[in-house]
Amino acid sequence: MTGHSSPYKPHNHEHCIKEALNKARFLCTDRGVRLTPLRERVLELVWQSHCPVGAYEILTELTQGASKPAQPPTVYRALEFLQEQGLVHRIASINAYIGCSHPGTRHNGCFLICTQCRTTIEIEHSNIDQSLTSCANDHGFTINETSIELAGLCTNCRVS
Amino acid sequence: MTGHSSPYKPHNHEHCIKEALNKARFLCTDRGVRLTPLRERVLELVWQSHCPVGAYEILTELTQGASKPAQPPTVYRALEFLQEQGLVHRIASINAYIGCSHPGTRHNGCFLICTQCRTTIEIEHSNIDQSLTSCANDHGFTINETSIELAGLCTNCRVS
DNA sequence: ACTATATTGTTATAATATAACATCACTACT
DNA sequence: AGTAGTGATGTTATATTATAACAATATAGT
Q: Is the pLDDT of residue A108 over 80?
A: yes
- pLDDT above 70 covers a percentage of chain A that reads 98
Enter the pTM of the model.
Answer: 0.94
pLDDT interval class at A115 (50, 70, 90):
very high
Q: Give dist(CA B81, CA B98) in Å, integer.
A: 14
Q: Is the pLDDT of residue A1 over 60?
A: no
Q: Which residues of chain A have a Cβ shorter than 8 Å from any chain B Cβ? A: 8, 92-93, 110, 112, 114-115, 121, 123-125, 127-128, 130-132, 134-136, 138-155, 158
Which stretches in chain B have pLDDT values below 70? 1-3, 160
Which residues are within 8 A (CB) of B56 and not within 5 positions of it... i.e. 6 or more apart?
B72, B75
Provide the pLDDT for residue B3: 56
For residue A117, the 8-state DSSP code is T
Query: What is the fold of A13-159?
Result: Arc Repressor Mutant, subunit A (1.10.10)
Say if residues A152 and B142 touch (Cβ distance below 8 Å): yes
Q: How many CA atoms lie within 13 A of B79 on its CB side?
A: 25
B65 to chain A, closest Cα gap in Å:
34
Which residues is B112 bridged to in the sheet? B121, B150
For residue A44, the 8-state DSSP code is H
- Determine the 3-state secondary structure of A19 from DSSP: helix
Which residues are within 8 A (CB) of B112 and not within 5 positions of it... i.e. 6 or more apart?
A136, A139, A141, A143, B120, B121, B123, B150, B152, B154
Provide the pLDDT for residue A159: 83
Say if residues A53 and A98 touch (Cβ distance below 8 Å): yes
Angle at B138 between CA B141 and CA A117, to 5 degrees: 25
* Residue A137 CA distance to nucleotide D21 C1' (Å): 48
Question: From the candidates B135, B137, B155, which should be mutated to test the interface with A, based on the most A CB atoms within 10 A?
Answer: B135
Q: Do A152 and B131 touch (CB under 8 A)?
A: no
Which residues are within 8 A (CB) of A136 and not within 5 positions of it... i.e. 6 or more apart?
A142, A143, B112, B123, B150, B152
* Residue A123 CA distance to nucleotide C25 C1' (Å): 39
Question: From the candidates B116, B122, B124, B142, which should be mutated to test the interface with A, based on the most A CB atoms within 10 A?
Answer: B142
Average pLDDT, whole number, for chain A?
94
Q: Give dist(CA B130, CA B17) in Å, integer.
A: 31
Size of interface A-B (CB pairs under 8 A): 137
B122 to chain A, closest Cα gap in Å:
10
Q: Do A112 and B158 touch (CB under 8 A)?
A: no
* pLDDT mean over A109-130: 93
- Domain coordinates in residue numbering, chain B: 13-159
pLDDT interval class at A35 (50, 70, 90):
very high
For residue B108, the 8-state DSSP code is -
Provide the pLDDT for residue A67: 87
Which residues is B114 bridged to in the sheet? B152
Instruction: Quote the distance between the C-alpha of residue A48 and its chain's center.
Output: 11
The nucleotides of chain D lying under 7 Å from a protein CB are 7-14, 16-21, 27-28
Q: Is the pLDDT of residue A2 over 70?
A: no
Q: What ranges in B2-66 are assigned the alpha helix state H?
A: 13-31, 37-46, 55-63
- Look at chain A and count its residues: 160
B5 to chain A, closest Cα gap in Å:
13
Q: Is the pLDDT of residue A160 over 80?
A: no
